[in-house]
């Protein structure tokens, strides 16, 4: 218990510049309070005591705004920042040094029994309001952007954004868990790609119109240079909509 508290204090001081001391963390950090109470309810849950673990969990929810099922397994150095609205399901597993922001849901997708909630491996960052649903696995050192909805397995060292969540970056480099501004704007990249394509097509149409007029008026044909059309399988498009062209063709 003491080791867990020590790792909790260390991770909060490391990742929250607003943390000014141990007493402030103890009395003013609902994420910390929720994790301490969860360790108590989880131990009672492992002893298979009826009702009492759920009552402790319910009291924790009332006091902190964080709902953690007593059956969830949470590692060391986990930081729930702000915490309000966080929901962690019964069969969820959270690895060491994970970071969860307010409004995060680790939920199930049905009424099936067994493993029905996600597993977060170590050093995963889940942005505010993100939803990770089902018995999936999110790999080590992965960032999930705010508001994303993740329903499929994610490989390690990835960045996931969007609804549904899509991997927009993957590397072997360890991520900075606080670098939210570094998340790519996938929608903007795709819109920019489409706007450039429209501009290119309009120029091609104008060139063809000029060519038709010259032929109809028996004027000397001039060389018309038509720009090369863009490939529908551009990388940004594939990353945004998935490789559905291959799936439809097969």
Query: Is the same domain home to 191 and 178?
Result: no
Task: Give the CA distances from residue 20 to residues 27, 59, 78, 101, in Å, rounded to whole numbers and listed in that order.
Answer: 12, 27, 18, 19
Q: Please state the pTM of the whole predicted model.
A: 0.69
| CA-based end-to-end distance of the chain | 55
Query: Is the same domain home to 38 and 83?
Result: yes
Please count the structural domains in the chain: 2
Burial of 83 (0-12, 13-18, 19+ CB in 10 A): buried
Query: Is the same domain home to 197 and 178?
Result: no
Query: Is the same domain home to 79 and 115?
Result: yes
Give the torsion through C-alpha atoms of 187, 192, 195, 201, to 10 deg: -120
Identify any residues that bridge with 73 across adjacent strands, giving them in sequence order: 93
pLDDT at 173: 53
Query: Is the same domain home to 174 and 238?
Result: no
Cα–Cα distance measured from residue 43 to residue 49, given in angstroms and rounded to the nearest whole number = 9
pLDDT at 221: 47
- Tell me how many degrees the CA angle 120-126-130 measures, rounded to the nearest 5: 110
E strands, the chain, in order: 67-68, 73-74, 79-80, 87-88, 93-94, 99-100, 105-107, 119-120, 125-126, 131-133, 137-138, 143-144, 149-150, 158-161, 166-170
Q: Per residue of the chain (250 residues), give pLDDT as tens.
A: 667 777 878 888 888 787 788 888 888 889 899 999 999 999 999 998 889 999 999 999 999 999 999 999 998 889 998 889 999 999 999 999 999 999 999 998 877 778 899 999 999 999 999 999 989 999 999 899 888 899 989 888 888 888 877 777 665 555 555 555 555 556 666 777 777 788 788 888 888 887 787 777 765 545 545 555 455 556 666 566 555 445 544 4
Of 150, 138, 168, nearest to 105 by C-alpha is 150
Of the residues 135, 150, 182, which one is the last residue of a structural domain? 182
Secondary structure (3-state) at 236: helix
pLDDT at 63: 92
Helix or strand run (H / E) with residue 210: helix 186-216
For residue 117, give every residue at least 6 positions away whose Cβ sits within 8 Å of its Cβ, in sequence order, or none. 72, 88, 89, 90, 91, 92, 93, 106, 107, 108, 134, 135
Of 30, 219, 79, nearest to 211 by C-alpha is 219
Placement of tokens 């309000």 in the chain: 84
Query: Is the same domain home to 132 and 23?
Result: yes
Query: Is the same domain home to 203 and 160?
Result: no
Query: Is the same domain home to 149 and 232?
Result: no
Tokens linked to 24? 């402030």
Query: Is the same domain home to 209 and 88?
Result: no
Of the residues 126, 148, 182, which one is the last residue of a structural domain? 182
Of the residues 151, 182, 213, which one is the last residue of a structural domain? 182
Query: Is the same domain home to 122 and 197?
Result: no
Domain that holds residue 171: 2-182
């Amino acid at each position: 218990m003491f080791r867990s508290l020590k790792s909790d204090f260390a991770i909060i001081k490391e990742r929250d510049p607003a943390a000014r001391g141990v007493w402030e963390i103890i009395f003013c950090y609902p994420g910390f309070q929720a994790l301490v109470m969860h360790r108590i309810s989880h131990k009672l849950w492992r002893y298979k005591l009826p009702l009492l673990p759920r009552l402790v969990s319910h009291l924790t929810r009332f006091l902190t705004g964080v709902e953690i099922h007593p059956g969830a397994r949470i590692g060391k150095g986990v930081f729930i920042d702000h915490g309000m609205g966080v929901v962690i399901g019964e069969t969820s597993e959270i690895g060491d040094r994970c970071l969860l922001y307010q409004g995060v849901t680790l939920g199930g997708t049905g009424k099936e029994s067994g493993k029905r909630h996600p597993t977060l491996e170590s050093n995963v960052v889940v942005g505010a309001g993100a939803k990770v649903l089902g018995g999936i696995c999110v790999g080590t050192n992965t960032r999930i952007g705010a508001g994303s909805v993740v329903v499929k397995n994610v490989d390690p060292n990835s960045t996931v954004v969007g609804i549904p969540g899509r991997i927009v970056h993957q590397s072997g480099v360890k991520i900075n868990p606080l670098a939210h501004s570094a998340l790519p704007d996938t929608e903007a990249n795709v819109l920019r790609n489409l706007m450039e394509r429209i501009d290119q097509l309009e120029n091609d149409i104008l060139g063809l119109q000029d060519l038709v007029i010259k032929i109809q008026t028996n004027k000397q044909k001039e060389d018309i240079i038509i720009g090369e059309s863009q490939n529908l399988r551009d990388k940004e498009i594939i990353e945004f909509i998935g490789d559905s062209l291959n799936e439809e063709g097969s």
